[in-house]
Amino acid sequence: MPGEHRSAENEGVEVVLDMLRSEGNRVTTSRRLLIRCLIEAKSHLTAEEIADDLERRAPDIHLSTIYRNLDELERLGVVSHSHLGHGPATYHLSTKVHGHLVCEDCGVAIEAPDEIFSQLALEIMEKHDFTIDTHHFAVLGRCGPCQSLLASTDPASKETSR
Ligand SMILES: [Zn+2]
Ligand SMILES: [Zn+2]
Ligand SMILES: [Zn+2]
């Protein structure tokens, strides 16, 4: 294909597409673009942002096709979503799935490796016979800079901190 160069991103797209093919699933233009969009994504994308990106790349693809394919890829286990706060869900490739720590003040999302939840997961399993899903929802709280900001602007928080 002219203009198509083999980059790490292209390789990644092919790996995911091969996975789909090997399970007998169709690989369509919109699925290919969708997966590429998620591989190239530098931040967390909502369904609407993904649809915008695909519409720019391929204006002939119908919006409903994009949303349907996002659903289908999620059902096939290739894509998964998580809720980072009060807004709409965001989408990841399932191979890039991870937990999130989200600041309620500034909204920053810190990616959290599964290991940091392992002790908590073990304890909840032992005490409550319950398996926690560390990916679906974010752990909300306050990031370092926002903690400092609060401490410097709110004298009451200094008094109560010790
Ligand atoms: Zn959900
Ligand atoms: Zn913050
Ligand atoms: Zn994430």
Kindly report the pTM of this predicted structure.
0.76
What is the per-residue pLDDT for 2? 46
Residues 6-17 have a mean pLDDT of 77
What is the per-residue pLDDT for 98? 87
Q: Domain ranges in the chain?
A: 8-95, 98-160
User: Does the pLDDT at position 104 exceed 90?
Assistant: yes
Give residue-wise pLDDT tens across range 66-85.
999 999 999 999 999 999 98
> For residue 146, how far is its CA from the centre of ligand 2 (angstroms)?
4
> For residue 160, how far is its CA from the centre of ligand 1 (angstroms)?
37
Q: For the chain, what percent of residues have pLDDT higher than 70? A: 90
Query: Which tops the pLDDT comparison, 40 or 142?
Result: 142
Residues 103-114 have a mean pLDDT of 91
- Fold category of 98-160 in CATH: Dna Ligase; domain 1 (3.30.1490)
Ligand sitting nearest the alpha carbon of 108: 2
> For residue 64, how far is its CA from the centre of ligand 1 (angstroms)?
20
Ligand sitting nearest the alpha carbon of 138: 3
From residue 24, give the alpha-carbon distance in Å to each of 21, 76, 83: 5, 11, 30
Residues 42-49 have a mean pLDDT of 90
Q: In what order do the strands lie in the sheet with 45-46?
A: 45-46, 90-93, 79-82
The CATH architecture annotation of domain 8-95 reads Orthogonal Bundle (1.10)
- H or E segment to which residue 113 belongs: none
> For residue 6, how far is its CA from the centre of ligand 1 (angstroms)?
34
Exposure string for 142-157, b = 16+ CB within 10 A, e = fewer? bbeebeeeeeeeeeee
Residues 38-50 have a mean pLDDT of 90
